[in-house]
Structure 1
Amino acid sequence: MIKKTAAIAVLAAGVTGCSIQQNVDTAHIEQGTTLCVIENMDVRPGFLSAFKTALQTKGVQYRLVNAAAIPANCQWTASYTARWSWDLALYMSYAEIQIHKDGTLQGKALYDSTRGGANMGKFIDAETKVNELVEALLNIKTAALFYRFYG
């Protein structure tokens, strides 16, 4: 009986260690705001492509800027990082997008499957995941115009 209980405890500990984390703290930006996306040359180009597509789908105006020379008129900035891992196939194991206003963190999206272990849910389509993260991360405030005129 003790061996059976110990085996179940070890199995339970192993399964809980195979978790995928996703956390999003939403950033609230005004409609019409231009987001300066700080290009990260250490990340696969496909991530940036998916990020730009997600921003376009969300209706966010953006421009790419170099990390070494961020223009002074970039009030809102987005930085990102992502990593890919190999386990039977190549997959995006980590992604983080941060939104700042005047250097202060306004929102953050994190996807982390680095502890995914045997969890097959880690084999996601990176483009779909980036779109999901951006959708949850950015809340575009449009009500301000309504209240200004009808409020």
Structure 2
Amino acid sequence: MMSRLACASLALFALSGCAIHQNVKPVARLDSKTVCIFQNGNVRATFLDAYERALSNKGYEVRRLESGAPLLSCPVTSTYTANWRWDMAMYMAYAEIIVYKNGNTAGQATYDATRGGGNMGKFIGAEKKITELVDQLFPGTAGS
């Protein structure tokens, strides 16, 4: 009996290290239909392309800003970061999108699969995950 309990505990402990975390604090209604995104040269360009597409599909107009532009360049601005890892295939291990309204944080989405270990859910396509994050971060359509 004790060895079964020990095996079950060990299995549970091992699986707890295979967690993928996602946390989204949605943006409240925005008056602006334009979102200005600061370009991040340290992240694959495909991330920004997917982010822009997801916003456009929700009715937002997107303007790209240089990374050094002031935070108040637009009423609604956004930053992002992401990185990829290799484990049998490349996968997006971490992504964060922060939205600012008039320079103040208005919403944030974080996806963290860095401790995904044996969790096969980490192999979700980056564009699909980015779209999911944007849908949760901007719950309505532009102007709604």
Distance 1:142 1:65 in 2: 22
Matches within 5 A, 1:2-151: 2-30=2-30, 32-70=32-70, 72-138=72-138, 139-140=140-141, 142=143
* Structure (1 or 2) with the greater strand fraction: 1
- Secondary structure of residue in 2 paired with 1:27: coil
Structure 2: tracts of 5 or more residues without a match:
none
Larger radius of gyration: 1
Aligned residues: 143
Matched AA of 1:133:
L
Cα deviations across residues 54-112 of structure 1 (Å, max 9, x unaligned)? 01101111200012123744121110001101000000011110101122111011111
Percent identical residues: 42
Distance 1:142 1:72 in 2: 20
Q: CA RMSD in A?
A: 1.7
- Secondary structure of residue in 1 paired with 2:28: strand
Judge which range, 65-74 or 89-98, deviates more.
65-74
Structure 1: tracts of 5 or more residues without a match:
144-151
- Secondary structure of residue in 1 paired with 2:80: strand
Distance 1:69 1:127 in 2: 26
TM norm structure 1: 0.87
